[in-house]
Copies of this chain bind each other. A is one copy, B any other.
Amino acid sequence: MSKNPDGKQIKVGILGATGTVGQRFITLLAEHPWFTIHALGASSRSAGKPYVQAVNWKQTMPIPSIVREMIVQECRSQHFVDCAIIFSGLDADAASEIESAFRSSDLAVFSNAKNYRRDPSVPLIVPLVNDSHLSIVPQQQALHDPPLKKGFIVTNANCSTTGYVIPLRALEKAFGPIESCLVTTMQAISGAGYPGVPSLDIIDNIVPYIGGEEEKMEWETLKILGGITDGDDGRKTFDMHARHPLRVSASCNRVPVIDGHTMCVSVRFQRRPPPSPQQVREALVAYTPEAQSIGCPSVPVHAIFVHEEPDRPQPRLDRYYQDGAGVSVGRVRQCPVLDIKFVVLANNVSIGAATSSIINAELAVLKGVVKVE
């Protein structure tokens, strides 16, 4: 079992613990080598009940024994003061207020909610891509009145964005800026939470629209793949990939798949001539994000697994590989309109959600951004 820098168990809390993302946090954290689940937060309807009574458990493994009888708290910071890390699986309608209050109470929040992703002082981190953006946390803390010592908010990206920016980052690292990217998604129903998509809408059907999703993908990609600019005043700013403008066009579809977002991606590089399909395959295989090299325990062995079979990746067969912590890429080939096209599969409930938050927290611990006492 890997050791964190201080060799201690780190207490963590989970907000939205009875929801879909909260349940995933619990299944992942119950086995975590560093983190120990210490507190669970949910709505006042659940507060005061043992977890087993509060939750409508929908995972394929039983409720971990460590949380079964744990009493659910309301999402107030006084119940979580002993937690070095807070994981938030809150719904968007609750996340703004609660996450802000927790930060103000000097708690470190790793959020899966969308609310603060566009905040200019909050990093939007896909852990296999842009953990360097953690460098903006001190500025976020300094902006608070009074300045915070330990509290901050780090967000992770939309489940669709997460999956495809990992290969895009690998390609930019190897071949320089991407100029344009056209992506069509086929997204799993679990991405909509529970109860989420009515069965009458999706069995034997495709819904070629997911509200707000295309805008999220097009915007988040720029923040994640862009860098951070140091201003003359010492202020750091997300540059939104502005030095090499990147145009992204997303078409998002809901499909009758339980877990795993499949995406058809075409890219055009600035570099002329562009890399060949074989060069692209090699660059994807070779990609090693910092989270791997510094030893985050939840990172997969293969950040990007490249399939050679012509008909892979497929969600049902490939989504659970490496516990869904990496992404699968296949069908790398030339695109007659842009340069290169390929298929990406990302497990939306793992690397697309809770797993990303957890690796982000691991990165923050290893880099000293989270202060472990």
Task: Give residues in A with beta carbon < 8 Å to B.
Answer: 58-62, 180-182, 184, 186, 189-190, 194-209, 211, 218, 247-249, 251, 253, 255-258, 262, 264, 266, 310-318, 320-321, 330-331, 335-338, 341, 343
| A-B pairs with beta carbons under 8 Å apart, 27 shown | A58-B200, A62-B321, A186-B206, A186-B255, A189-B199, A195-B198, A196-B200, A197-B200, A199-B203, A199-B256, A203-B203, A203-B258, A204-B258, A205-B315, A205-B316, A206-B314, A206-B315, A207-B311, A207-B314, A208-B330, A208-B343, A218-B336, A248-B336, A251-B264, A251-B343, A253-B264, A255-B255
Name the residue in A186, A198, A330, A335 with the highest tally of chain B Cβ atoms < 10 Å from its Cβ.
A198
A194 CB contact (under 8 Å) in B60, B186, B200, B209 = B200
Q: How far is the CA of A209 from the CA of B310 in the complex (A)?
A: 7
**CB <8 Å contact, B315 and A204:** yes
**CB <8 Å contact, A249 and B207:** no
**CB <8 Å contact, A337 and B194:** no
Identical chains in the assembly: 4
A208 CB contact (under 8 Å) in B61, B209, B211, B262 = B262
A227 nearest CB across to chain B (Å): 21
Note all chain B residues with C-beta closer than 8 A to A62: 321
**CB <8 Å contact, B266 and A249:** yes
Q: How far is the CA of A311 from the CA of B335 in the complex (A)?
A: 28
Note all chain B residues with C-beta closer than 8 A to A198: 194-199
**CB <8 Å contact, A335 and B199:** no
Closest 9 CB pairs of A and B: A195-B198, A184-B184, A205-B316, A209-B311, A251-B264, A249-B337, A199-B199, A208-B343, A249-B336
